[in-house]
Amino acid sequence: MYRIGERLSVEDRMQKGYVYELAAPMGGGFDPGFTPRFPPKEMLALGVFEGKYINDCRGELPADWFAGARLSDTPDPALNRFGVKRRQSLAHWRKMGWIIGPDPRGWFQCYCRNYLGRRLAGIDRRQIKRWRAFARHARQIRANCAPGDLACRPRQRQALLQWSHDPFI
């Protein structure tokens, strides 16, 4: 369905008329310094962003990503894998400068598009740098939690999942 050279047109609540081209195979051809633990489909099935994030993006993203996804019309922390609230408002993201380039929903939207095969050198470089920096949370869990104690630091574990790092350490 998604092929190198294909152009995707975006029409959702937050973005209209944005078009991008796929330059790499879906799920491959990542920057060597970018090794996400989970594909977007698996993240959605595990439970991220309180079930309320890319629900209106079904025209852009593969339909099978939504099969088994934990989604809701209203934010529900119980849908998160670790059952905790772990997201900030879009207004906060904008204020902090976390919305980069053509991805008005932030890092996860950028990752979804990158996973599909979009490549934007400058944007990718900045987002990968942010992704790498997020690994510090895994180090904090290792330093403060017994191995396998998933009840320890659930907010940090949820955040790791939302950044496609392994929260099950």
154 pLDDT more than 90: yes
> What local confidence, expressed as pLDDT, does residue 98 receive?
86
| Residues 26/55, Cβ–Cβ less than 8 Å | no
Enumerate the domain spans of the chain: 7-162
Q: Is 32 helix (H, G, I), strand (E, B) or coil?
A: coil
Task: Locate 26 and state its tokens.
Answer: 């879906």
Per-residue model confidence as pLDDT tens digits over 52-106: 888 899 999 999 999 999 999 999 999 999 999 987 888 888 898 888 889 999 9
* Surface-to-core class of residue 133, CB atoms within 10 Å of its CB (0-12 exposed, 13-18 middle, 19+ buried): exposed
Per-residue model confidence as pLDDT tens digits over 92-114: 888 988 888 899 999 999 999 99
Work out the pLDDT band at 155, boundaries 50, 70, 90. very high
Please report, for residues 8, 46, 119, 146, the alpha-carbon distance to residue 67 in angstroms, rounded to integers and kept in the order given.
21, 12, 26, 34
> What local confidence, expressed as pLDDT, does residue 90 receive?
81
> What local confidence, expressed as pLDDT, does residue 146 receive?
96
> What local confidence, expressed as pLDDT, does residue 1 receive?
75
Task: Locate 96 and state its tokens.
Answer: 């902090």
Look at 13-22, 50-59, 114-123 and tell me which has the smallest mean pLDDT: 50-59
38 pLDDT more than 80: yes
Work out the pLDDT band at 32, boundaries 50, 70, 90. very high
6 pLDDT more than 80: yes
Phi and psi at 96, nearest 5°, equal: -80, -5
> What local confidence, expressed as pLDDT, does residue 87 receive?
77
Please report, for residues 26, 123, 136, the alpha-carbon distance to residue 23 in angstroms, rounded to integers and kept in the order given.
9, 14, 31
Q: Measured between alpha carbons, how far is 62 from 101 in angstroms, rounded to an integer?
A: 22
What is the average per-residue pLDDT within 138-162?
A: 96
